[in-house]
């Protein structure tokens, strides 16, 4: 009889563990802010917005209700609307396309490249006389080739609005995701690299007119001087959430280093598994500083591997429920994107988060090697 192999439970994400890690500090922030009765548009929010702006090297940050609102507001503030086409990668959350739709423009999905981010060649091929913007998703914590996208944008007089929901702290040639275009949005959804206790997001811009327009849109149409300048929404980041975020921003650089360490570990441990395509390793390309919001591999026999890992106590996730945006025919998409179709039969996200131990990553890799008989 063989001894039963120990099963380690590796959850995909562990919210309670994240809370426990600094429970006392969170409770203290809650108490301190609540005692002041400081809930909407107070100092904690302003402080967080300015710390984040300096972290990013951007002029302005506006806390908003969530990144989906932020993307729509960014587009509207950049005067993108009815009759305009906006090109984005089909490998993204439906939120990217929904923001374009609700801004009144037409979402045009295109192929991604081998690093799973928008393919500049596909972008250029999709430009028509109605194209007004490119909306790259800085997917999985990696920033797209912004040099190539900026060249295309300049050539065709397009603006860039980044979906940087997954990319806080990621850089391309030293410049932060979220600062390349006219405006961008970042998400503080609890599972994002910087997460709050519910929904939250930010609009980032270095253009004063666009920023002022975004502020008015998110504040019922009132501009910073308190004058009503048009129709607006109500989309704000709660002051309390901003205070929780400021606390975590203090050691965010260390958090990123931890994520990069874990990604490096995966990269090493899976190096000899020919059936798995790994994301670029942390130091593999001097142009890219990746923060590994997700660790998304490509795997032969993906569905069988997922089940095998589940049997070993390991939770994995297939992003976007396994469907690229152009595959959502119900929403009227008709594009044929064969590379993305193929890729979506192979994608799988392995657990990479702030609660997983190095041993957890090694265990996952052992099981993957076991599955392929290596």
**What is the closest distance, in whole angstroms, from the C-beta atom of residue 287 to ligand PLP in the complex?**
21
Task: Between 85 and 162, name the residue whose CB sits nearer to ligand PLP.
Answer: 162
Task: Between 58 and 118, name the residue whose CB sits nearer to ligand PLP.
Answer: 118
Measured in whole angstroms, the distance separating CA 4 from the mean position of its chain's CA atoms is 40
Q: How far is CA 19 from CA 190, 191, 193, in A?
A: 11, 12, 14
Number of separate helices (H) and strands (E) present in the chain: 13, 13
Task: Between 131 and 166, name the residue whose CB sits nearer to ligand PLP.
Answer: 166
Measured in whole angstroms, the distance separating CA 213 from the mean position of its chain's CA atoms is 24
Q: For residue 360, what is the enclosing H or E element?
A: helix 358-371
CA–CA distance, 288 with 279 (Å, rounded to integer): 12
**What is the closest distance, in whole angstroms, from the C-beta atom of residue 51 to ligand PLP in the complex?**
19
The binding site for ligand PLP (CB under 6 A) comprises 66-68, 92-93, 95-96, 137, 163, 165-166, 187, 189, 199, 201
**What is the closest distance, in whole angstroms, from the C-beta atom of residue 176 to ligand PLP in the complex?**
16
**What is the closest distance, in whole angstroms, from the C-beta atom of residue 303 to ligand PLP in the complex?**
23
Task: Between 275 and 290, name the residue whose CB sits nearer to ligand PLP.
Answer: 290
**What is the closest distance, in whole angstroms, from the C-beta atom of residue 112 to ligand PLP in the complex?**
12
Contact 109, 339 (CB under 8 A): no
- The SS3 of residue 187 is strand
Whether the CA torsion 120, 125, 129, 130 is positive or negative: it is: negative
**What is the closest distance, in whole angstroms, from the C-beta atom of residue 351 to ligand PLP in the complex?**
17
Task: Between 145 and 275, name the residue whose CB sits nearer to ligand PLP.
Answer: 145
Task: Between 68 and 248, name the residue whose CB sits nearer to ligand PLP.
Answer: 68
**By CB neighbour count within 10 A (0-12 exposed, 13-18 middle, 19+ buried), where does 338 fall?**
exposed
Task: Between 116 and 260, name the residue whose CB sits nearer to ligand PLP.
Answer: 116
CA–CA distance, 175 with 57 (Å, rounded to integer): 8
- Tell me how far apart the terminal alpha carbons of the chain are, to the nearest angstrom: 23
**What is the closest distance, in whole angstroms, from the C-beta atom of residue 139 to ligand PLP in the complex?**
6
């Amino acid at each position: 009889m063989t001894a039963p192999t120990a099963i380690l439970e590796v959850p995909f994400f562990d919210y309670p563990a994240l809370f426990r890690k600094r429970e006392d500090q969170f409770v203290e922030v809650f108490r301190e802010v609540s005692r002041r009765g400081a809930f909407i548009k107070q100092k904690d929010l302003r402080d967080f917005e300015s710390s984040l702006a300096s972290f990013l090297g951007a002029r302005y940050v506006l806390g908003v209700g969530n990144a989906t609102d932020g993307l729509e507001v960014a587009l509207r503030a950049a005067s993108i609307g009815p009759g305009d086409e906006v090109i984005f990668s089909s490998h993204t959350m439906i939120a990217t396309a929904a923001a374009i739709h609700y801004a009144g423009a037409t979402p045009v999905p295109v192929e991604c490249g081998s690093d799973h981010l928008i393919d500049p060649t596909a972008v250029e091929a999709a430009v028509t006389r109605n194209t007004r913007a490119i909306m790259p998703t800085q997917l999985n914590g990696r920033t797209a080739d912004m040099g190539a996208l900026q060249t295309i944008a300049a050539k065709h007089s397009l603006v860039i609005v980044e979906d940087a929901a997954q990319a806080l702290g990621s850089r391309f040639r030293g410049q932060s995701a979220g600062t390349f275009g006219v405006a961008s949005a970042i998400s503080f959804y609890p599972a994002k690299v910087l997460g709050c206790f519910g929904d939250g997001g930010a609009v980032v811009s270095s253009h004063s007119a666009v920023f002022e327009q975004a502020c008015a849109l998110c504040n019922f149409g009132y501009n910073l001087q308190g004058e009503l300048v048009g129709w607006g929404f109500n989309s704000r980041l709660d002051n309390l959430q901003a205070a929780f975020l400021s606390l975590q921003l203090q050691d965010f650089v260390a958090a990123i280093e931890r994520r990069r360490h874990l990604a490096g570990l995966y990269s090493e441990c899976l190096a000899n598994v020919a059936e798995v395509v790994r994301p670029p390793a942390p130091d593999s390309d001097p142009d890219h500083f990746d923060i590994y919001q997700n660790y998304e591999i490509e795997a032969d026999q993906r569905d069988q591997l997922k089940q095998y890992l589940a049997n070993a106590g390991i939770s994995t996730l297939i992003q976007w429920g396994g469907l690229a945006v152009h595959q959502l025919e119900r929403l009227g998409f008709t594009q044929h994107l064969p590379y993305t179709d193929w890729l979506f039969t192979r994608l799988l996200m392995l657990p990479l988060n702030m609660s997983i131990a190095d041993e957890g990553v090694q265990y996952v890799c052992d099981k993957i090697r076991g599955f392929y008989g290596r």
